[in-house]
Amino acid sequence: MNIKRLLLATLAIWLFGIAYLMLTCAGFFSWIYTIPPIIWKAPADMMTAGNMIGSNLMGLTATFLFVLVYALLYKALSNKGFKKGLYYGFLVFLIGPFSGFASMPFYMTIANVYVIYAIISFFVKYLIMGAIVGAIYKRD
């Protein structure tokens, strides 16, 4: 396992995730969070020091696990480079965000528009995350 590239890919994807969040959730698509029922915390409550530290630690941990699983499955994935990563990102999207968000309306009071937005947004995000890890991570 190439630890240097594993950490580099983790950092690159984590930084991409922050930028993606700022552009989508806090930027172009922030209106989605005003559709009733409103289940989100107020922005000021989300920006407390404890929440920022916790959310960044969780994001970094999740990103590290995303890259680590890619490294563990490296030989089992087809293609090379970013195409291998795209394939991996798509598989992870199907197992995680797609199945999780698609089932939300069945057990949560949540705006269906948000569910559709989240599925599309995470599809794009996980493909890009996969492409990044595929482009950066190479086995020794």
Domain count, the chain: 1
- pTM beyond 0.75: the answer is yes
Q: Which domain holds residue 17?
A: 3-136
**Among candidate residues 88, 85, 70, the one with its CA nearest the CA of residue 134:** 85
pLDDT digits (tens, 9 = 90+) for 95-129: 999 999 999 999 989 999 999 999 999 999 999 99
Residue 59, CA distances (Å) to 13, 54, 109, 122 in order: 10, 8, 25, 14
